[in-house]
Amino acid sequence: MSALVNYENFDTEILPAFPEDSETKGALEVLEWANSQYGNKLIYACSFGIEGIVLTDLLAKVNPSAKIVFLDTDVHFEETYKLIEQVKKRYPQLSIEMKKPALTLEEQASEYGDELWLRDSNKCCNIRKIAPLTEVLSTATAWLSGLRREQSETRALTEYINQDNKFKSIKICPLIHWTWKDVWRYAHKNGLPYNVLHDNGYPSIGCKTCTAPTINADDLRSGRWQGAQKTECGLHLS
């Protein structure tokens, strides 16, 4: 194993080159490198959208007992929870943690008022997503994400290996060169389970309080936080 790449000594010049033209567009090679680098200090923060399902399948090929964390905000679609149960049955060796926020919905309402997501979605995301992931990553060296460059302008410059200033960690994104068609082609070819909401106009699926069917076929995330000047929950913004 080469010298460990961590947040403090991150240097793009010492990172390996991954084959963008391989069968998985570098994804499997990136995962093999990440697993050899970080072992049990590598965590996959998975939202269980279709990209997440594909990345989970690839990860299981490299490390069948890999650690996966789902940020369980308590306001996800029932279809998402059902999918997670399917994934657990398909990959029984994977360690899947349902990470809850420090505050229950009732406690959040008591402190900040009902339906905080309607009045201050950034505050709600911070409580129910960012703070829990910060806690999870405090025991890890690196984390995996299913970001793709094609998804949005804010993700267009994502690299395979990234210095994550928000979480003081290394963020690894194996699917950056995959297209929407690539993702679905792989899922269907391998008979992967997926969230049925994808068949009903939801290309990007988050909390049910802030996710609607897409209104723009050219922007797969246009169904998120409709009517707000917001495109990300904050997990992927430095």
Rounded distance, CA 224 to CA 202, Å? 9
Cα 160 to the center of its chain, rounded Å: 14
Q: Which residues are catalytic?
A: 233
Half-sphere exposure of 99 (CA within 13 A, CB side): 23
**161 in helix, strand or coil?**
strand
Residue 6: which of 166, 146, 162, 131 has the closest Cα? 162
- How many residues does this entry show for the chain? 238
CA distances to 21, 111, 118, 128, 215 from 55, in Å: 18, 37, 31, 23, 26
Residue 207: which of 112, 110, 127, 97 has the closest Cα? 127
Which tokens is 13 given? 């010049």
